Amino acid sequence: MTKVKYTMTESAETTYFVEGLSTPDLQKLKDKHRELIDIVDELTKDDMGKFVDLPQLVVVGDQSSGKSSVLESISRVRFPSDHNVCTRFATQLVLSEADAPLVEVTITPHEDASAAEKERIKTFRHTQEDFGDLSPIIAEATRVMGLEDNGELFSKHTLRVEASGPGMLRLTLVDLPGFYGGRSNTQSDKFREMPLQIAEQYIKRDNTIILMVVSADMDTTKQDATRVARDADIFGQRTLGIITKPDLIQKHSEPGYEALLRNARGSPMYLKYGWHVVRNRASDEPLDFEARDRKEAEDLSKKVWKKVNNQDKGIKALRTKLSNVLIEHVTDKLPHVTETLRELRRTKEEQHQRFEDRSDFKAIQSHLNRVQQRFSSLASQAVRGQLEDSRFFAQPTSATPDDESVLKRNLRARIRRDNKEFVKVMQLCGSRHVYDWRTEGSVSRYLSKVQFSPEQLEIIRKYGAKHPEILSQDQLEE
């Protein structure tokens, strides 16, 4: 292990890092999450972490949209301001509590990498005992990933930064390479595609909250972030929109961004978690988070931003909003984690009970015959709906017919459920056009209140279904 220690005993920067990670908003988040996160941590210590995905915040946005600045403002852990270094690969920031400050940086190899490359990359490990500038370490990681030697602009490997210290919360943040969007026409299709592929690996997961960063100095329609986030989260059920660079907004763009922040139900860019505007720190500004917050309050009291509700602007309000989003998300995921662990335990118990010596050919053949016969019997019972094997088809006492634990093994019940879900999707998304008849807006209000189940969203993703275009009676008569 290579240790890199930066002595900053008299630096104001160190003070700001420590204070930033102990702000009342983050402490509130930590207190509310303590019991839930402790459960997940215990599972991780028992080597069960591969079955449990902690909710994570994934920041997506076009190049120079201010993504890394948003990440820095939320976590108050410093990243390099040079976007050519920081956004050439996914950067995962893992925060946790410890008695003393420590930052450990490693690289997680991409699954497609060769065995030799994985072994080489896994040897990269740096630590520093304060929250100083990570630029030297990240520059070294860039070299280890081969970005300086092979001419590639992006890497599929992930830089993992684990920061721990007194008063830190348990949280995971990911900053992804920026999309080219409408800012550059000079790059080839190959280089444009790589950031999109990296983003898809993260934001397609149902346990990911997408922080969609758009810059106010450009129309949202010209920024790839809106399209990419919408493709992964069609109806905006797990996306929070973040508007940056409010001081650079053009006069003609103000009405559009004002409409986004109103987040009216039925609007094309409606998001369940709404929109939020923050001021990102410029790269040439001093690293003083208190001064940054004061400057932000000043900028957001001008132009169209002064009309925005206080809970929808500023980094402090954003932390509060994120805490509420994460609490809801973690609470929703824990029952699924519990069921996964129960299923794992049942599988292990069955394997243990069936363990026998199969060291010769006849024993192996006999075992495979028994497995085939049992599979055939279970499949036949599932198709007929006559569940005679009470052990295999056992249901938890509190389970309902529509519980996932029941549907996994009850084929007919699953088909019945899937048919119902398909019918509902077709009723709402099966038409290209619907008409607001007589009472204008009634259909829009109805569609905006519809909440799709995860199964329905999967059907929508699979077949590319969309909400129908709403036409008024006047448009029809024309």
Same domain (yes/no): 185, 326: yes
Who has greater pLDDT, 303 or 389? Answer: 303
The answer to whether residues 207 and 272 belong to one domain is yes
- Do 331 and 267 belong to one domain? yes
pLDDT level of residue 113 (50, 70, 90 thresholds)? confident
Same domain, 128 and 201: yes
Q: 166 with 97: CB under 8 angstroms? A: yes
Do 451 and 329 have their domain in common?
no
Residues 21 and 127 in one domain: yes
The domain that holds 153 is classified in CATH as: 3.40.50.300
Predicted pLDDT at 61: 92
461 in any annotated domain: yes
Task: State which of 339, 368, 383 marks the end of a domain.
Answer: 339
Please say if the pLDDT value at position 16 is more than 60.
Answer: no
- Clarify whether residues 390 and 405 are in a common domain: no
How many Å apart are CA 446 and CA 431, to the nearest integer? 15
Q: Are strands 275-277 and 239-244 parallel, antiparallel or unpaired?
A: parallel
Using CB atoms within 10 Å of the CB of residue 424, give its burial: 0 to 12 exposed, 13 to 18 middle, 19+ buried.
middle
In angstroms, the CA 385 to CA 406 distance is 13
**Domain around 439:** 401-478
Q: Give the pLDDT confidence score for residue 124 in this predicted structure.
A: 93
Q: Which residue has the higher pLDDT, 26 or 165?
A: 165
Confidence of residue 15 (pLDDT cuts 50, 70, 90): very low
- 165-174 residues labelled b (16+ CB within 10 A) or e (exposed): beebbbbbbb
- The b/e string for 361-380 (b: 16+ C-beta within 10 A; e otherwise) is eeeeeeeeeeeeeeeeebee
pLDDT of residue 181: 65
pLDDT at position 185, please?
56
Overall domain count for the chain = 3
| Same domain assignment for residues 319 and 377 | no
Tell me the average pLDDT of the chain: 77
Which residues are 103's β-sheet partners? 128, 163
Q: Residue 12 pLDDT > 60, yes or no?
A: no
The answer to whether the beta carbons of residues 124 and 144 sit under 8 Å apart is: yes
pLDDT score of 169 more than 50: yes
Half-sphere exposure of residue 93: CA atoms within 13 angstroms, side-chain side:
27
Provide, rounded to the nearest whole percent, the portion of the chain with pLDDT above 90. Answer: 11
The 10s digit of each residue's pLDDT in 357-415 is: 666 788 788 888 888 898 888 888 888 877 777 667 766 555 565 666 666 777 787 88
Instruction: Indicate whether 41 belongs to any domain.
Output: yes
| pLDDT band per the 50, 70, 90 thresholds, residue 57 | confident
Residue 390 lies in a domain: yes
Question: Does 45 map to a domain?
Answer: yes
Q: Are residues 330 and 366 in the same domain?
A: no
Residue 70 located in a structural domain: yes
Q: Are residues 448 and 376 both part of a single domain?
A: no
Is 319 contained in some domain? yes
Give the tens place of pLDDT for each residue, 420-472: 888 888 887 887 777 776 666 666 666 666 777 878 888 888 777 777 777 77
Q: Is residue 348 part of a domain?
A: no
- What are the C-alpha distances in Å from 23 to residues 75, 92, 112, 134, 290? 10, 22, 40, 22, 11
3-state DSSP assignment of residue 220:
helix
> What pLDDT, on the 0 to 100 scale, is given for residue 402?
60
C-alpha–C-alpha distance, residues 20 and 290, integer Å: 9
Query: pTM of the predicted model, to two decimals?
Result: 0.65
Q: What percent of the chain has a predicted confidence (pLDDT) above 70?
A: 73
374 in the same domain as 307? no
Does residue 256 share a domain with residue 405? Answer: no
Considering the domain boundaries, does residue 477 fall inside one? Answer: yes
